[in-house]
Amino acid sequence: MPTESCLLNSNAMDVTLQPTPALTYRTVGGILDFYVVMGPTPELVVQQYTGLIGRPVMPAYWALGFQLCRYGYENDMEISNLYDDMRSAGIPYDVQYADIDYMDRQLDFTLDKNFAGLPALVDRMREEGMKFVFILDPAISGNETAYPAFDRGVQDDVFIKWPLELKDEIVWGKVWPDYPNVTVNTSLDWDTQVKLYRAYTAFPDFFRNSTAKWWHREIEEFYNNTMKFDGIWIDMNEPASFVHGTIDGKCLGDPIYENPPYMPPLESKHMGLNHKTLCMNSEQILPDGTPVKHYDVHSLYGWSHTKPTYDALLKITGERGIVVTRSTYPSSGKWAGHWLGDNNAEWDQLHKSIIGMMEFSLFGISYTGADICGFFNAAYYDLCLRWMQLGAFYPYSRNHNGLGNRRQDPVAWDTRFAEASRDVLNIRYTLLPYLYTLMFQAHSEGSTVVRPLLHEFIRDGTTWDIDKQFLWGPALLISPAMNYGEWLNLRAYIPDARWYDYHTAEFINVKRRWVTLKTPLDKINLHVRGGHILPWQKPENNTHYSRKNPLGLIVAMSDDGDAHGSFFWDDGKSIDTYENNQYLLVSFNASESTMQNRVLHDGLAPADKLVLGQVKVWGAGRRIVSGVTVETGSGPSVPVAFTHDRRTEELIMDLSALYVPVEQPFTITWR
């Protein structure tokens, strides 16, 4: 029986896989607890693990839409033009971000004069079904003559300090905020710029209850008095600093905590644990008043930052929204999603992003993805287009790049690029009901959304080493091109099941074999697994409108002539709809020439109810279909319009004109 061993320890550590096989853990702190999770399958192990640490958060429906961000927007007009260009190009997207550009001198809870029109733009976008997310860093400038966020933080005693026996003073670092009234000479090297131009910054201690109240108040005032928003992106919360330990580079107290006898093999190992972060002797205060060294809770800083942010977002907006955090720890997934950090615009990063997503799925963080097209360095055409195709299948799908690089959003290139991006994002939006159902299953059961092939085909040893392909749940196989010029020679593995080409609906008649796939620059390879039913909707320019369309079904028949699936639906935004029974859950089962639904739970508000649209049966056979009927139980069987392609064996039935409610029992029969 497979086992997964878990060490509950937040200190710096390394883990070595021995050939025996065995794991060797080396930590710089004491072991707090040790436990073993056991299960017959990898999926069950993850379910048991998330049952222990907490199930993944249920994101708002709009959070599954495509998202755009850039560090380097010059003003609000640039964002406005981008939004209009995306709409004109017909490229679906739901979420626009603002990075630290929107802030006055990178100060949290402020607005730069170049973005004075951003609040009105956000209001317009939100009226048109869009959502807006802004960034907050934890570090607060202490060099201001009047800065309410800092002044009230001092008053509420929220900032990390030295222990009283060392020095009764805030532990000062330097992060993004500039000194007041200083023009930065960008020709100087970065370390010199930091020394000359960056203000002193204080770090809130999010373990304190008073800090959560202070943080909530600052966010609420920004929402009410400056700008509306729908989600919050928290960054730099390792915590990161631009200096070594503190502003003068000197850490107080016993130096053994900065340079313990054993150091994990970090790149900055020779610099000590305080490299580009706080001194390890800094003191934090637990909720019960117990003082602890930063040494023992350093890896929990982002974790402690996340829940207060999530709680504030929900209470202030009154809706689910999203929090996306850079620094995580086990159980962070209960409140937030995660992007995989500042990556590079290089081909190898596509492959690494798949590994990262699959890892975070195991960690109980389902809502994850990498910066599409890369953050550092300028992306180039083929790389960015291939990344747009892969990124369309990240649960958290955001194109984002760094300061000083040219734009890389879908309308920054040419018409061909925009059209290819539109096409693959339309596929994503088509399948959002399936993705949302997977998110619900992760939230309610702890199953994975992005899934390694081995989770579904554990008896096939070939799948154990595959990390260049992945699954959405059990049924959608994604095989992206991730190398330059990989048009005709993409090597992909087809596991032991019946598979259909998503683009053509054709049965591919290959099992348990490596194949070479043609992958022109405007295509990503997608296959649907027989035996499964996938819910879908016609895509629109954002999810506000796509959610209103009828519900379609892809019924992919197995070798045995059957298929099953499920569908979760709520209003997409209210808090705790699952916990409050305000949702619809339906199962679907098909066998030979009949498909039925079964309503497992119906607490859906009338405004959110859906009717059936197109039902596509793949693998319906080449036998001539003479008729299709639907019976809802409220009357006689009704004929259904259909088409049947005997070559591809695809049967398409259109029920959209018949008003068949998804939440009521129905039976569809074809003869």
Percent of the chain with pLDDT over 90: 89
How confident is the model at residue 23, as a pLDDT?
75
Please say if the pLDDT value at position 31 is more than 60: no
Residue range 429-437: mean pLDDT, rounded: 98
Instruction: State residue 38's pLDDT score.
Output: 55
Given a cut of 50, whether residue 2 has pLDDT beyond it is no
pLDDT at 5: 54
Mean pLDDT confidence for 211-220: 98
Does residue 39 surpass a pLDDT of 80?
Answer: no
The two most distant CA atoms of the chain are separated, in Å, by 87
DSSP state of 481: -
Strands 476-479, 499-501: parallel, antiparallel or unpaired by DSSP?
Answer: unpaired
Q: How far apart are CA 48 and CA 33, in angstroms?
A: 17
CA distance 596 to 668: 6
Instruction: Give the separation between CA 549 and CA 560, rounded to whole angstroms.
Output: 32
**DSSP per position, 171-210:** --B--SPBPTT----TTS-HHHHHHHHBPPEE-B-TTSHH
Residues in the chain: 671
Residue 30's pLDDT is what?
62
Output the pLDDT for position 25: 78
Mean pLDDT of 188-210: 95
Tell whether the model's pLDDT for residue 466 goes beyond 50: yes
DSSP 589-606: EEETTEEEEEEEEE---G
Q: Which of 156-160, 190-194, 386-390, 521-525 has the weakest average pLDDT?
A: 190-194
Tokens of 285: 């205060």
The per-residue pLDDT for range 558-591, each reduced to its tens digit, is 999 999 999 999 999 999 999 999 999 999 999 9
Mean pLDDT of the 399-417 span: 96
Distance, in Å, from the CA atom of 10 to the CA atom of 230, rounded to the nearest integer, reads 31
DSSP tag of 473:
T
Question: In a 3-state reduction of DSSP, which class is residue 95?
Answer: strand
CA–CA gap between residue 280 and residue 255 (Å, rounded): 9
Using pLDDT thresholds of 50, 70 and 90, give the confidence band for residue 393: very high
Predicted local confidence at residue 11, as pLDDT: 87
Eight-class DSSP state of 267? T
Q: What is the pLDDT of residues 68-113, one digit of tens each?
A: 999 999 999 999 999 999 999 999 999 999 999 999 999 999 999 9
- Between residues 613 and 181, which one has the greater pLDDT? 613
Question: Over 70: is that where the pLDDT of 67 sits?
Answer: yes
Task: State the Cα angle at 503 between 592 and 649, rounded to 5°.
Answer: 30
CB 429 within 8 A of CB 540: yes
The torsion angles phi and psi of 329, rounded to 5 degrees, stand at -150, 160
Q: Residue 13's pLDDT is what?
A: 83
Instruction: Let me know the angle formed at the C-alpha of 655 by 650 and 656, rounded to the nearest 5 degrees.
Output: 120
Query: pLDDT of 601-656, one tens digit each?
Result: 999 999 999 999 999 999 999 999 999 999 997 778 999 999 999 999 999 999 99
**Other Cβ atoms within 10 Å of 169 Cβ, number:** 12
Alpha-carbon gap, residue 3 to 44, rounded angstroms: 11
If you write DSSP's letter for every residue of 317-370 in order, what string do you get? HSS--EEEESS--TTGGGT-EEE--S-BSSTHHHHHHHHHHHHHHHTT--SEE-
Residue 436 belongs to what H/E stretch? Answer: helix 432-445
Report the distance separating Cα 467 and Cα 453, nearest Å. 8
- Please write the tens of the pLDDT for every residue from 335-368: 999 999 999 999 999 999 999 999 999 999 999 9
Q: Give helix then strand counts, H and E, for the chain.
A: 14, 35
pLDDT at 407 exceeding the cut of 90: yes
Average of per-residue pLDDT values in the chain: 94
According to the model, what pLDDT value does residue 33 have? Answer: 54
Among 181-185, 501-505, 608-612, the range scoring the smallest mean pLDDT is: 181-185
Report pLDDT for 85: 98
